Every structure is written in C-alpha cells, then in structure tokens.
Copies of this chain bind each other. A is one copy, B any other.
Amino acid sequence: MTVVDYKTVIENKQASNFQKIPVEWRLEKIPSPEEQKEVAPFIEPLLSDKELWITNVSAIELLENLKAGKISALEVTQAFCHRSALVHQLTDCLIEIFYDQALERAKELDSYFAKTAKLVGPLHGIPISLKDQFNLKGITTSIGFTAPHISKELENIVGQKETDQESYLVQILHDAGAVFYVKTTVPMAMFGNETSSNLSTTTHPFDRRKTPGGSSGGEAALLSGKGSVIGLGTDIGGSIRGPCVQCGLYGMRGSSNRYPYLGISNSYPHQTCVPSVTGPMCRYLEDLELVSKVIIDAEPWLVDAKVPPIPWKESVELDTVNVGIMVWDKQIKPHPPILRALKETETNLKKAGIDTLEVEPPVSHLEICDFLTDLYTCDDFAEVKKYAALSGEPLSDLIQRTFKLNGHIATLEDTFNASAQKYNYQQIYDKFWNSTAKLTKNGKPLDCIIMPGWASTSWKSGENMKIANVYTRFLNVLDYSVLTIPITTVNESDDPFERTDFSGEADKVCWEYYNKDFYLGMPVVLQLVCRRYEEEKCIALAKKLLPIIRNT
C-alpha cells in the first residue's frame, strides 16, 4: 500500500468536490458564520423564481405538477442540484456530488413521461438525498473515514462489503422514480451528535455558528436549507431525530428494520442487540408518509431477511386519542422554549377535548443511555481505530471528546447480559405503558407520548458535551416508533428562569447554556412516541394533533 498523507487525501477530496459544482453555481467568496449566520437570505437571491418554488414546495406538490406535465423532472432536479450546491458551500453538508448522473436520470424520466404520459412510479422525478452510508454504484461510501477516499479496496474494508452492490433501499426508491444527486456528511463512524469528522464540519443553515446535530446532520442541514425535499438518515441513538430536532424537520426512527437496512454500510453492522435503523427525514409530513408507504409497499421482507412482514396500514383508527405528555425525565430539564412547546401542546390538546396525561419515566433514562453507550463501545472502539489507521488519520475530535473508553472488550457473557438487560428495559416500559389504561378516560392505554426531542434546540458547533443527550437514546433500546414533530420557534417570551431542582452537574451545565438571544428563531421540535412498529400511527397522530397543537 502506498504511504499517503491523510491531510492530502482530504484536501484532494475537497478540491474534487468543488470541481463537481458547475462554475456558474460557485460562490466567489464564502462569508464567515459571523458575517452571514443564515443561509437562505444569502442564497435565495441567486435562485430563479421557479427554482425557489420547486425547492420550497412538498414532493407531493411536485408530483402533482410532474403528473400534469407542468414541470419536468429535469427542472426539478436542476433546481435541487443548484440549491444543494449553494447550501453545501455555506454549510459543508455534502460529501459526494453527482449532478451529471442525476440530470441524465431526470432526462430519461422526462423522456418516459413524454412517450407514455405516465409517471414511472410514485416518486417520479423526486430528488432524494442520502446519508453517506448508502451505497450507489460508482459512488464512494466513506462513513466519515478518510481511507475510502484513497482506494476502492479501503472503501470496501471500511464499508464491510465485497462488491459494488447498491443498498436495497436505493433500488426501491430508484424503481419508484427517485433521482439521486448527492450524499451527505456524517461524523466518523456515525458516532456523535454533531456532524464533524476529519473530512468536514457541517454547520446549521439557520445559524452557521451552530451544529445541525448528528449523525445525520449532513441530511438535516441540506433539507432545512431546502437543498433537498426527502432525505434518508440512520439512527442508533438519535442520529435521525437529533438533527431533525435541531433543524426543524420531520424525521422517523422506525422500529428495527421496518425500513430495510440491507446493503447500507455501517459501523458494527452485526451488533444486533440495539441495531441502527434507517428512516426518512423531510420538511413535509405528507412527504414522509409518501416515501414510507413506497418503501413498505415494496414488500421488503421478501428481500431483506431482517424486515418483519408488516404491510403499510392505509388507515389508523383514531376516534378517541389518549396523549401522554412527558415534560422532562427528572434528569436533564429541557430549555425554556421546549418547556413552553410542551405546555402549549398540553393546553391546546386539552382545549380541543383530547385526553392528556402527564407521565414520568418508569426507569432511569440515564441508566438506559449508559447501557447503550456500553454497546456502542463494546469492542473498545477497536474497529473505529482500525479504520482510522488505514489512512493514518486520528480519531475525530468529536469521538475523542464524546466517548470515554475503558479498555474492556465485551465477552460472550456480556453479550448475553446485554440481551437480557434490553429485554428487561422493554418489559418495564411496556408494563408502564399498558398500565396507563387505568388512568385514561376511555380505559385504553396511551396512544402516544409527546416528549422533548433534545434538551436544547441546537448549540454552538463543538459544544455538544454541554448539552446532555438523554431524550432520544433510550427509545432505541425500547425500539419504539418515534416521529419528530416541529412545534414552534424560539421567541421573545422564552426567558430563562432560575432553578433550584438540578438533578446534577449535567443538568446544571445544560440549563445554564441557554441564552435567549442566541436561540431566537430556532426551531422547537418534540418527539411523538408510539409503540413498536407503529410508524403509520405516528404519522396519523401527527396529522391529527399538529394542527391542534400549533393552533393552525
């Protein structure tokens, strides 16, 4: 193997990406985050009215217009390529750019439509962005490591794959008519709740001083910057939900393998106790429903052995609804705007005659978080270190500050104990959930629990350790279906207030991090939690409840 300098590899990769942006879309000068906090006002003047319209509406609306022949797949694709290039130059959210292929594909779709007057499938001409774990023929997958940019051989080692085969989900979406055009950044090995690696540091399009979260932060930055309409992320501890919470998006963490993971590269792909899941991230709830239905209607269980054969339910009965509200977990209190969102949620639901019930965790979420961290680091990060060593790069700063290793490699007995412990946590929570039937008016258990998605709505890049991450991870262990639901934005009423009930240092540090001026205008997003494999119910509840909660 040739000895290479990993820094040179990274510089070459960045230069090569820049070359893939057409000259006319390149920005002459990139303002600093302090000079230009927000992306939209800077890039929108560079887009045509049609491009602005295309990148602003839902995929559903684009499809209606495509079907009516009012716009072409090429126009749609071009608009998203253009806007994604601009968002990327300000947020560093793309790791793979392949606009040429995308435009070719769009032309083929237009040609099919011209000949048949039919759409090729339910996602005809819709650009879909993919987190850099998805495999597409001829496109590198690097999952946050530098080595895959050196050679195909190293890419296959890091991606734990033998061939240039595509992710199965890519095939499903392609067959439905989707257009792929970019892959988005991830932190090294997808570990961390920011999106920085030695290759890139992605920033938040609403405030470039801040992080879009992680690990699907490249997706979230691109989507909230409107450089994409539908994206696909992955989540083993909040990697879809965190970025969606920080960026104001709808994101679904489905129960294990509801959405097929076959052929998606991953760290520790065979750690099956609490597996990573894939799921859609969108600006429109209807788009999230559409893409979910397309995926599940493909009957993925016939191809991916891990997918349970549960067809997509066309309708969910929601005559009377019981909504649980978990204001906080008694460990890390969320910031004032999140507390307000929860209060408004409860008040508005009650006003509309919907039965709500305040609930508290039946088991320590911090304890479950610690359990999950042990699973993440079960090999003392030997695999992560091995893949970093392939290029000579150090472990990312994010990994170094986030994970404390203890030198222990799990034994067979540890893996048995972990399986037992996960099942135990699930039993405790399921029993609690069933027991809510005794407390509701209609004698049925809660239909969902609405709770904070994170203790904070984003933070300054690099400061993730100040915001304890407790609201998403326990749900991976329980394997519940979870949808992030944007509720409001931080406003002038969200003043900080004094507290004396700190649960400990992490709670205090997080609480004191809040600064109204720093947060004004940022999105406030909650989690809507249903039970296992209730993705349809999450969506149906959000459709029913959000207009009430938002008072719209």
Q: Give A471 to B420 CA distance when docked, in angstroms.
A: 31
Q: Do the beta carbons of A479 and B305 come within 8 Å of each other?
A: yes
User: In chain A, residues 440-499, which have Cβ atoms closer than 8 Å to a Cβ of chain B?
Assistant: 478-479
The yes or no answer to A320 lying at the interface (CB within 8 A) is no
A420 partner residues in chain B, CB cutoff 8 A:
269-270
The yes or no answer to A306 lying at the interface (CB within 8 A) is yes
The yes or no answer to A378 lying at the interface (CB within 8 A) is yes
Q: Do the beta carbons of B308 and A533 come within 8 Å of each other?
A: yes
Q: Do the beta carbons of A302 and B419 come within 8 Å of each other?
A: no
Q: Do the beta carbons of B532 and A305 come within 8 Å of each other?
A: yes
Q: Which of A100-108, A139-147, A397-405, A426-434 is near enough to bind chain B?
A: A426-434
Q: Which of A6-14, A119-127, A329-337, A408-416 is near enough to bind chain B?
A: A408-416
User: In chain A, residues 98-152, which have Cβ atoms closer than 8 Å to a Cβ of chain B?
Assistant: none
Q: Give A414 to B270 CA distance when docked, in angstroms.
A: 10
A303 partner residues in chain B, CB cutoff 8 A:
430, 434
Q: Do the beta carbons of B533 and A309 come within 8 Å of each other?
A: yes
Per-residue B-contact encoding for A246-283, CB less than 8 Å = 1, 0 else: 00000000000000001000001111110000000000
The yes or no answer to A318 lying at the interface (CB within 8 A) is no
Minimum CB–CB distance for A250 against chain B, Å? 23
The yes or no answer to A310 lying at the interface (CB within 8 A) is yes
Q: Do the beta carbons of A301 and B532 come within 8 Å of each other?
A: yes
From the candidates B272, B379, B417, name the one contacting A412 in the complex (CB within 8 A): B379
The yes or no answer to A53 lying at the interface (CB within 8 A) is no
The yes or no answer to A518 lying at the interface (CB within 8 A) is no
- Please tell me the size bucket of the interface on A: 35 or more
A365 partner residues in chain B, CB cutoff 8 A:
none
Q: Do the beta carbons of B416 and A271 come within 8 Å of each other?
A: yes
A531 partner residues in chain B, CB cutoff 8 A:
302, 309
Please, which residue of chain B has its CB at the minimum distance from the CB of A308?
Answer: B308
Q: Do the beta carbons of B416 and A270 come within 8 Å of each other?
A: yes
Q: Give A426 to B302 CA distance when docked, in angstroms.
A: 11
Q: Do the beta carbons of A309 and B306 come within 8 Å of each other?
A: no
From the candidates B269, B310, B478, name the one contacting A310 in the complex (CB within 8 A): B310
Please, which residue of chain B has its CB at the minimum distance from the CB of A418?
Answer: B270
User: In chain A, residues 284-303, which have Cβ atoms closer than 8 Å to a Cβ of chain B?
Assistant: 301-303
A478 partner residues in chain B, CB cutoff 8 A:
305
Q: Given A269-B420, A419-B272, does the pair A430, B302 have CB atoms closer than 8 Å? A: yes
Q: Give A262 to B411 CA distance when docked, in angstroms.
A: 25
Please, which residue of chain B has its CB at the minimum distance from the CB of A302?
Answer: B434
Q: Give A309 to B270 CA distance when docked, in angstroms.
A: 24
Per-residue B-contact encoding for A164-206, CB less than 8 Å = 1, 0 else: 0000000000000000000000000000000000000000000
The yes or no answer to A423 lying at the interface (CB within 8 A) is yes
Q: Give A427 to B303 CA distance when docked, in angstroms.
A: 7
Minimum CB–CB distance for A185 against chain B, Å? 27
Q: Given A412-B379, A415-B415, does the pair A430, B305 have CB atoms closer than 8 Å? A: yes
Please, which residue of chain B has its CB at the minimum distance from the CB of A379?
Answer: B412
Q: Do the beta carbons of A270 and B417 come within 8 Å of each other?
A: yes
Minimum CB–CB distance for A268 against chain B, Å? 7
Q: Give A417 to B413 CA distance when docked, in angstroms.
A: 16
Q: Do the beta carbons of B412 and A305 come within 8 Å of each other?
A: no
A533 partner residues in chain B, CB cutoff 8 A:
301, 308-309
Give me 20 A-to-B residue pairs in the complex whose CB atoms sit less than 8 angstroms apart, sorted by A's number: A262-B427, A269-B420, A270-B417, A272-B419, A305-B423, A305-B430, A305-B478, A305-B479, A306-B423, A308-B308, A308-B532, A308-B533, A309-B531, A309-B533, A309-B534, A310-B310, A378-B412, A379-B413, A411-B411, A412-B414
User: 7 additional contacts, CB 8 Å, given A270-B423, A301-B533, A306-B423?
Assistant: A272-B272, A305-B426, A305-B430, A305-B478, A308-B308, A308-B533, A309-B310
Which 8 residue pairs across A and B have the least CB separation, nearest first? A305-B426, A270-B419, A270-B416, A308-B308, A410-B412, A270-B420, A309-B533, A272-B419
